[in-house]
Amino acid sequence: MRPTQAAFPATRLRRLRSTPAIRKLVQETTLTPGDFIWPVFVRDGTGVVEPIASMPGVNRLSVDKVVEAAKEAYSLGIPSICLFPYTDPSLKTEDCAEAWNPDNLSNRATRAIKDAVPEIAVMTDVALDPYNINGHDGFVEDGKIVNDRTVEALVKQALSQAEAGADIIGPSDMMDGRIGALRQALEAEGHENVLLLSYAAKFASAFYGPFRDAVGASGALKGDKKTYQMEPGNSDEAMRLIERDLREGADMVMVKPGMPYLDICRRAKDMFGAPTFAYQVSGEYAMLAGASERGWVDGEKVMLESLTAFKRAGCDGILTYFAPAASKILNG
Ligand code: PBG
C-alpha cells in the first residue's frame, strides 16, 4: 500500500510528531511484556547465581533460582520462559543419552517451574549440542552430522520434555524432517496440545558465541555448523524452510538471529501469516549490554528500541535476554 498525501504545506508530517500525546496516538507498533519469551541458563546446585562473563547481567541459575526467575517473570507479565541447560562435561557423551534422561537438568527445572508457577509457559530446547561430546546439534559419524538418526534421538528428547510438562518445544537443531517426526510422536503419546516453535530459519551465525560459552559448548565444538544452519546471504531458502516446517506441524516459527535478519522476519510474516518469533541472540545482547556498560550507548534506550524494531518487522514475539529488564521499564 502506498500512502496518498497532499503536497507541502497541506501535508506537514512534523504535525504528527509535535507533542508526546500526538506521537503516542499515531504510534504504529508497541511493545509489552506479553511479547517476550525469556531464555534462561540452568545449572546444577542450589542457591547458585553464576555470572556469564560475555553476557553482562545474565547468570546461570540452579533449579531453585530458576523457579524464582519464573515467579518474577510471571509477576512481570512475561508469558514464557525458555530453558537452556549447562550440562556437566562428565555427562557429555557420543550417544547423547543425557538428552532424554527424564531427570536431566532441563526436565528437573521444567517440573519445578510447573509445580511452582503453572501459569507460565515453559519452553524447552530440542537439539543434542548441550549433551554432545563434540558440541554439534546432531550425531557425528565419520566427521559428518547425520540427519535421520539424529531425528530419532530428538524425538526421544522432546517426548521426555513433554512428559516433564513442557508447554512449548523449540527444535533448534535444523535437521530435516524433525518437525513432522516430533508432531507425529507428540500426537501418538497423548501430547496433542504441546506446541512446536520451530527454529525454522536459523542462520550459521557468529552471534551465537556468548551462548556457547554460557552452555559450555564452545570448547567442545569441532568445526562449524554450516551443513545444517543457513548461509547468512539466503532469504528464499528461509521461506522454503518456514513453509516446510508449517506444513509438517509447527505452530509457530522463528527467525534467528534477530536484528541482522529483520528482513527475513517481515518476509515470513507477510508470506505465511503464522505466529512469527525472532531470537535476539546472545551476541546481540552482548553488543548492547557491553556497549552500555562502557557508557557508549544508553542501555535502556537501545534495549527498547531494538525490541520495538522486532514488532515493527512483523514479529509477534521476541526471545530476549532483556525480557525482565525491559518488562520492568514497560510496566512503569
Ligand atoms: C543450539 C543453540 C544455539 C542457540 C540456541 N540453541 C547455538 C548454536 O546453534 O550454536 C543460540 C542462542 C543465542 O546465541 O542466544 N542448539
pTM of this structure: 0.97
Contact 171, 154 (CB under 8 A): yes
User: Pick from 126, 124, 136, 61: which is nearest to 93 by CA?
Assistant: 136
The residues annotated as belonging to the active site are: 202, 256
Please give the distance, rounded to the nearest whole angstrom, from the Cα atom of residue 318 to the centre of ligand 1: 15
Q: For the chain, how many residues are written?
A: 332
Q: What is the mean pLDDT of residues 18-27?
A: 98
The predicted pLDDT at position 1 comes to: 67
Task: Please name the amino acid found at residue 309.
Answer: A
Work out the burial of residue 4: count CB atoms within 10 Å of its CB; fewer than 13 is exposed, 13-18 middle, 19 or more buried.
Answer: exposed
Judged by average pLDDT, the poorest of 2-6, 240-244, 283-287, 289-293 is 2-6
SS3 100: helix
Question: DSSP string spanning 281-307?
Answer: -HHHHHHHHHHHHTTSS-HHHHHHHHH
Tell me the pLDDT tens digit for each residue of 94-106: 999 999 999 999 9
Q: How confident is the model at residue 222 (pLDDT cuts 50, 70, 90)?
A: confident
Nearest ligand 1 atom to the CA of 202 is: 9
Contact 29, 312 (CB under 8 A): yes
Looking at the predicted structure, is the pLDDT value of residue 216 above 90?
no
CB atoms within 10 A of CB 295: 8
More confident residue, 82 or 3: 82
Q: How far, in Å, are 13, 162, 199 from residue 125 at the CA level?
A: 46, 11, 10
Query: Within 10 Å of residue 316's Cβ, how many Cβ atoms?
Result: 16
The three-class DSSP label of residue 232 is: coil
The pLDDT of residue 299 is above 80 = yes
Half-sphere exposure of 92 (CA within 13 A, CB side): 22
Q: What is the mean pLDDT of residues 301-320?
A: 98
Gap from CA of 20 to ligand 1 centroid (Å): 39
Burial class (CB in 10 A: 0-12, 13-18, 19+), 115: exposed
Lowest mean pLDDT among 4-18, 179-193, 283-297: 4-18
Task: State in Å: Cα 278 to ligand 1 middle.
Answer: 13
Q: What are the tens digits of pLDDT across the range 29-45?
A: 999 999 999 999 999 99
Q: Which of 280, 221, 276 is nearest to 253 (CA)?
A: 276
Give the pLDDT score at 107: 98
Sequence spans of domains, the chain: 32-330
Q: How confident is the model at residue 164, as a pLDDT?
A: 98
**pLDDT-based confidence at 287, cuts 50/70/90?**
very high
State the closest ligand 1 atom to the C-alpha of 173, by its place in the atom list counted from 1: 16
Whose alpha carbon is nearest atom 9 of ligand 1? Answer: 208
Q: Does ligand 1 come within 6 angstroms of the Cβ of 137?
A: yes
Q: Is the dihedral of CA 87, 58, 61, 47 positive or negative?
A: positive
Q: In the predicted model, what is the mean pLDDT of the chain?
A: 96
- Tell me if 179 sits within 8 A of 196, measured CB to CB: yes
Number of neighbours of residue 302 by Cβ within 10 angstroms: 17
Q: Is the pLDDT of residue 313 over 70?
A: yes
Q: State if residue 261 touches ligand 1 by the CB under 6 angstroms criterion.
A: no
State the amino acid at position 254 in one-letter form.
M
CA 62, 63, 66: angle at the middle one, nearest 5?
Answer: 90
* Residues above pLDDT 70, as percent of the chain: 99
Any atom of ligand 1 within 6 Å of the Cβ of 211? yes
- Residue corresponding to grid cell 517451574: 113
Span from the CA of 247 to the centroid of ligand 1 (angstroms): 24
Q: Is the pLDDT of residue 196 over 80?
A: yes
Residue nearest to atom 5 of ligand 1 (CA): 172
* Residue of minimum CA distance from atom 2 in ligand 1: 172
Indicate the fold that domain 32-330 takes in CATH: TIM Barrel (3.20.20)
Q: For residue 56, is the peptide bond before it cis, meaning its omega torsion is within 30 degrees of 0?
A: no
Q: Which residue type, as a one-letter code, is found at position 154?
A: L
**Does the CB atom of residue 212 touch ligand 1 within 6 A?**
yes
Q: Residue 214: what pLDDT? A: 86
Cα of 212 to ligand 1 centre, how many Å? 7
